[in-house]
C-alpha cells in the first residue's frame, strides 16, 4: 500500500501513513490524467514536426537555412 | 532582507518511497516568511515531472506566471492550476539525479492573498532534456498557512533519498 509522510512541525514527529482507498483512487486518477495530457502533447508535437518537415521540403531548403531567416 | 533562516522541520524519504510529504502544524509566530526546499525524484517514467505543493490542503485558487527552459527551447505560460509546480527528475533521467526546487512564501500568516515564487532545476547531467523553471504565483486565499503538502502531479511517488526542508525566516 502506498504511504505518505507527515511531519508535525510542533513536535518534530514524523509519521508514515498508508493512503486511504480514496487517496489511492485519486492518485490513479491523477496518473491517468497525466498520461493523457502527455500523450496529447506528444501527438501535437509530432503533427507540428511533420508539418515543418513537409514545408521545408516544399520550399527546398534545410532546417539550418530556415533558421537563418529568423536570425 | 532576511536576517534569520531557521530550519523548522525536514524529511527524507525511506526505501519504500512516499506519495507525498506534509508539513503540518507550521508555527504561526516567530517568522514572517517560509521557504521550502525539495530535492526530489519521481518513480514514474519520463525525464521530468511536476512537483505540486498545496497550501492548507487546498487544490483551488492558484494562478501562475512562469518561464521555463527545456533542452534548447524556452517557453512561458500563465495558468490556473491545482497547486503550484516546479520540475522533478523522472525515472528516465540520469540515474541517481534529482530535481531541486525552492518555494518562497512571504507573509504566510497575513490575512491577504498569498504570493509565492518558485525556482528549480533538474540535475540531469546532460546537454539535452535539462529543465529550469522560474515562476511567480498567487494563492487567492486569506487564511494563514498552517500546512504544506508536496507531491507529484503524475500519481507516482517520491523515490528514496528525496528530501524536503521547511525553513522559517524573520524579517524583523
Q: Does B1 score more than 60 pLDDT?
A: no
CA–CA min distance A63, chain B (Å) = 15
What is the average per-residue pLDDT within B52-62?
88
Q: Does B143 score more than 90 pLDDT?
A: yes
Q: Which of A4, A36, A48, A64 to mutate to test the interface with B (most CBs of B within 10 A)?
A: A4
Q: Which of A4, A7, A27 has its CB closest to that of B155?
A: A27
What pLDDT score does B81 carry? Answer: 66
Do the Cβ atoms of A9 and B27 come within 8 Å? yes
What is the average per-residue pLDDT within B139-161?
91
pLDDT in tens, A8-62: 999 999 999 998 998 888 888 877 877 787 677 778 878 888 898 899 999 999 8
User: Mean pLDDT score of chain B, rounded to an integer?
Assistant: 86
What pLDDT score does A4 carry? Answer: 94
Give residue A25's domain range.
Answer: 3-69
Do the Cβ atoms of B155 and A2 come within 8 Å? no
CA–CA min distance A59, chain B (Å) = 24
Domains and CATH numbers, chain B: 6-169 (2.60.120)
Q: Does A64 score more than 70 pLDDT?
A: yes
Do the Cβ atoms of B153 and A19 come within 8 Å? no
Neighbours of B3 (CB within 10 A): 8
Q: Rounded distance, CA B164 to CA B132, Å?
A: 19
- Count of H helices and E strands in chain A? 2, 2
Query: C-alpha cell of B38?
Result: 525539495
Of B18-22, B79-83, B151-155, the one with minimum mean pLDDT is B79-83
CA–CA min distance A12, chain B (Å) = 7
Q: Are B65 and B118 in contact (CB under 8 A)?
A: no
How many domains, chain A? 1
Q: Does B164 score more than 70 pLDDT?
A: yes
Q: Are B65 and B17 in contact (CB under 8 A)?
A: no
Amino acid at each position: 500500500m502506498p504511504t505518505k509522510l507527515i511531519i508535525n512541525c510542533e513536535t518534530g514527529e514524523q509519521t508514515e501513513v498508508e493512503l486511504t482507498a480514496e487517496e489511492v483512487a485519486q492518485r490513479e486518477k491523477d496518473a491517468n490524467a497525466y498520461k493523457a495530457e502527455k500523450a496529447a502533447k506528444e501527438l501535437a508535437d509530432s503533427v507540428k514536426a511533420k508539418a515543418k518537415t513537409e514545408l521545408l521540403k516544399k520550399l527546398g531548403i534545410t532546417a539550418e537555412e530556415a533558421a537563418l531567416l529568423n536570425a | 532582507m532576511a536576517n534569520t533562516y531557521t530550519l523548522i522541520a525536514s524529511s527524507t524519504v525511506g526505501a519504500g518511497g512516499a506519495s507525498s510529504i506534509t508539513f503540518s502544524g507550521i508555527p504561526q509566530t516567530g517568522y514572517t516568511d517560509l521557504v521550502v526546499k525539495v530535492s526530489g525524484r519521481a518513480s514514474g517514467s519520463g525525464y521530468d515531472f511536476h512537483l505540486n505543493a498545496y497550501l492548507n490542503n487546498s487544490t483551488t485558487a492558484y494562478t501562475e506566471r512562469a518561464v521555463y527552459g527545456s533542452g534548447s527551447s524556452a517557453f512561458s505560460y500563465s495558468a490556473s492550476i491545482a497547486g503550484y509546480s516546479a520540475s522533478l527528475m523522472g525515472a528516465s533521467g540520469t540515474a541517481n539525479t534529482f530535481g531541486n526546487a525552492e518555494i518562497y512564501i512571504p507573509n504566510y500568516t497575513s490575512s491577504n492573498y498569498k504570493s509565492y515564487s518558485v525556482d528549480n532545476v533538474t540535475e540531469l547531467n546532460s546537454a539535452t532534456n535539462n529543465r529550469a523553471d522560474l515562476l511567480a504565483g498567487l494563492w487567492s486565499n486569506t487564511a494563514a498557512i498552517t500546512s504544506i503538502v508536496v507531491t507529484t502531479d503524475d500519481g507516482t511517488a517520491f523515490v528514496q533519498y528525496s528530501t524536503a526542508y521547511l525553513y522559517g525566516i524573520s524579517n524583523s
